[in-house]
């Protein structure tokens, strides 16, 4: 059953991990290694790693740790995650969702760097949008809104004309701080009060509106 009040937008801004791509298996492998090396509880660490760039998460977990060590560990993690694609699969409904967006304004806004974004989207069999806002292209990680604001600007739309799809607490906060409406995807998102929520992308139907009027999102209850 679809929601009686569909959302309209001129453009969509899409997070990757947890939203389009399920990469939890890889993320868990390397964060467990890192947590054990720091003497931290891996299960507790995994509760806060989603959505941010790795070095920003490390700084939040260990605020007195030198920035240089966090950046070095960030590089270590990116190198391994980019080549380890075992278990990387599309979120349910993501292939049809991306196919429906072909020719409509949308951008990928991710805390992954360019290499990791391309590797994971490729492993999941998903097409890359023409506009990519990756970690190298922002000065501050989510929950800062910079990435979403940059994506909207590159697509040529005002923030209020955009809808964000996100799964994490920091991503939802970033979309909200950018002045955009947010559709939460999956179980992590439900707890953080997005404007709308779906279990997965199979619950989203995209309707292209006439001319340049954008698109309408029909969301299943």
Burial 158-182 (b: 16+ CB within 10 A, else e): ebebbbbbbbbbbbbbbbbbbebbb
pTM: 0.90
Question: Among residues 17, 73, 144, 167, which one is catalytic?
Answer: 17
* Residue 2 maps to a domain: no
Query: pLDDT tens digits, the chain, 221 residues: what are they?
Result: 445 568 999 999 999 999 999 999 998 999 999 999 999 999 999 988 887 888 999 999 999 999 999 999 999 999 999 999 999 999 999 999 999 999 999 999 999 999 999 999 999 999 999 999 999 999 998 999 999 999 999 999 999 999 999 999 999 999 999 999 999 999 989 999 999 999 999 999 999 998 777 999 999 86
In this structure, the strands spanning 106-109 and 131-133 are parallel
Q: Helix or strand or coil: residue 141?
A: coil
- Together in a domain, 68 and 96: no
Residue 15 a catalytic site member: yes
Domain count, the chain: 2
- Phi, psi values for residue 5, rounded to 5°: -125, 85
Domain around 63: 24-83
Asked about 102 being catalytic, the answer comes back as no
Count of residues in the chain: 221
User: CA neighbours within 13 Å on the CB side: how many for 208?
Assistant: 12
């Amino acid at each position: 059953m679809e929601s009686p009040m569909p959302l309209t937008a001129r453009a969509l801004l899409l997070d990757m991990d947890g939203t389009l791509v399920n990469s939890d298996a890889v993320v868990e492998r390397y964060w467990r290694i890192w947590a054990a090396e720091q003497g931290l509880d891996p299960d507790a660490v995994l509760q806060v790693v989603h959505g941010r760039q790795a070095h920003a998460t490390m700084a939040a977990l260990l605020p007195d740790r030198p920035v240089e060590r966090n950046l070095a560990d960030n590089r270590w993690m990116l190198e391994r995650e980019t080549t380890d694609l075992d278990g990387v699969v599309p979120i349910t409904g993501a292939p049809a969702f991306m196919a429906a967006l072909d020719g409509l304004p949308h951008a990928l806004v991710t805390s992954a760097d360019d290499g990791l974004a391309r590797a994971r989207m490729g492993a999941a069999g998903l097409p890359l949008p023409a506009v990519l806002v990756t970690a190298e292209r922002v000065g501050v990680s989510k929950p800062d809104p910079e990435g979403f604001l940059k994506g909207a600007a590159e697509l040529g739309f005002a923030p209020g004309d955009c809808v964000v799809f996100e799964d994490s607490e920091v991503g939802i906060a970033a979309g909200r701080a950018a002045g955009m409406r947010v559709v939460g995807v999956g179980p992590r998102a439900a707890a953080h009060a997005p404007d709308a929520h779906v279990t997965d992308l199979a619950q989203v139907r995209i309707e292209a509106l006439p001319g340049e009027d954008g698109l309408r999102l029909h969301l299943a209850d």
